[in-house]
Amino acid sequence: MSTDQYTEDAVSALSSTIIDKAPYFGSLPLPAPAFELFFKDKNGQAHSVNLASAATEQLSALAEACSVAPFGRGAESVVDDTYRKAGKLDLPNFAIPFQPEGTALGAGIRECVLGGAESKRPVRFELYKLNVYGEGDFFKAHKDTPRGGAMFGSLVLVYPTVHSGGALAFRHRGQEWTFDSASAVYQDGSPALGYAAFYSDVEHEVLPVTSGYRVTITYNLYFDDAKVAQPASGPFVSDFANRLQNLLDDPHFMPQGGYLGFGLRHAYPIEFSEEFTFVRNGVQHIASVLKGSDAAVLRAAQAAGLSTRLHVAYDCKIYNSGRGYPRERTVTVLARKVVGGDYVEGGMWELLKEEQYGGVTLWPKGDDKCRVERTVHWVTPRTGASRVKSVVMAYGNEASLDYKYSELCLLVAVGKAGARTAKKNLVQDEKDRKYHVYGADSY
């Protein structure tokens, strides 16, 4: 077997160790006082109700105190009862005594949602809103809008009111999970608090409530620091990290060195304007808020002593007139920053190669017009989950606004056999102009 085929097979096996976590959901038995709710009606009158024993009349009064719940569509807040039908109360119109931070639920979120080194990071729970779903109410499939760069997910608490239906359905990267909260809030006849914690970019849906009132409270979850977590062991990290280290110890794996590429599997907030406004964002700060398997890959590579760097991947068309070249072809360019508010005259390829973007071209595999000495082996493909949209001014026969799309990816530099940690990152290598690189098996 050739070393190229051996490396490709090994990269495929490495990819199989990267697993997305399921949402964290279940129920938590609590004493009766923990289910108290205080709220104001539309006239400002204060009320209190224990949601573990609330009568239908009390829940009806709570529903009447609510306004119609909107949902986010881009930068807008939209009301559309064909997409979402529910009521909501905003702060400061309600209060609860329950505080998740110091409970087993808070510890479970850090361990089961974040995991590994991230489980040691402080998490801030921001009380956000109360929702009431009556009979026939629902919320179609959607993703939450991050409310800050450090926000990584949401926590939904489901109170033990008598109701049926209203299950939470989750979908992410072809996997599906369902949390039947109506059943979970009563364990052996005793009331319990249902909960579901999940990353912001996990699609979720509230299925129709078939009877009663479903009452929920939502928290926004934030990382409460700005540092990249130090490597630590965990079930996923150990599996991936051990496989990676075994490959680095194998002289037949990438014997001349190169790069491992990882398309990020989660979405991250990057500043964006729908208008033609100068926005040129670096992406290295995102390393401090990576989630799930993205964070685990970064930790494992750093623990192995490898150089890592986040990039923005653009697919660009190149037009040629020379003999022996195709007239038009597409190449991938890895840039250090997101393009925004720039003027594109000679094409995106020429723009991204400028110093401020530091773009490095990955030539297609088999391109015999370039002397290729390094390869980017894509362990996980680029995905739409981390897609970034930006606006540029394109010039052809006349100027026009154009939208450009890119995806976030992580590149890990691997040195030659026997000197794995000596490899520079891609941008440093390209500055030396010693060789070209190509992206093998990028899709």
Res 276: pLDDT: 37
Q: For residue 328, what pLDDT band results from cuts at 50, 70 and 90?
A: confident
Q: How confident is the model at residue 336 (pLDDT cuts 50, 70, 90)?
A: confident
Which sequence spans correspond to the domains of the chain?
A: 24-223, 228-440
pLDDT at residue 357, rounded to an integer: 76
Percent of the chain topping pLDDT 90: 43
Q: Give me the percent of the chain exceeding a pLDDT of 70.
A: 79
What pLDDT, on a 0 to 100 scale, did the predictor assign at position 287?
Answer: 86
Class of domain 24-223: mainly beta
What pLDDT does residue 27 have? 94
Alpha helix locations (H) across 89-145? 104-108
For the chain, give me the number of helices (H) and strands (E)?
A: 8, 31
What is the rounded CA–CA span in Å between residue 111 and residue 107?
6
* Residue range 173-200: mean pLDDT, rounded: 91
Nearest CA-CA partner of 308 in 295, 327, 324: 295
- Give mean pLDDT, residues 32-43: 96
Q: Which pLDDT belongs to residue 204? A: 94
Name the residue with higher pLDDT: 219 or 439. 219
Distances in whole angstroms, Cα of residue 212 to Cα of each of 63, 82, 399, 440:
11, 20, 57, 56
Nearest to 108 by CA among 225, 190, 23, 220: 23
Mean pLDDT of 398-417: 80
Instruction: Give the pLDDT band of residue 166 (cuts 50, 70, 90).
Output: very high
- One-letter identity of residue 155: L
* pLDDT tens-digit readout, 73-132: 656 778 888 999 999 999 999 999 999 988 889 888 988 888 766 777 888 999 999 999
Write out pLDDT tens, residues 264-276.
988 887 755 444 3
Average pLDDT, the chain: 82
Between residues 434 and 61, the one the model is more confident about:
61
Question: Can you give the pTM of this predicted structure?
Answer: 0.75
What are 257-303's pLDDT values in tens digits?
A: 999 999 998 888 775 544 434 445 568 888 888 888 898 899 899 98
DSSP secondary structure of 258-316 = EEEEEE--S-------SSS----EE-GGGGGG--HHHHHHHHHHHHTT-EEEEEEEEEE
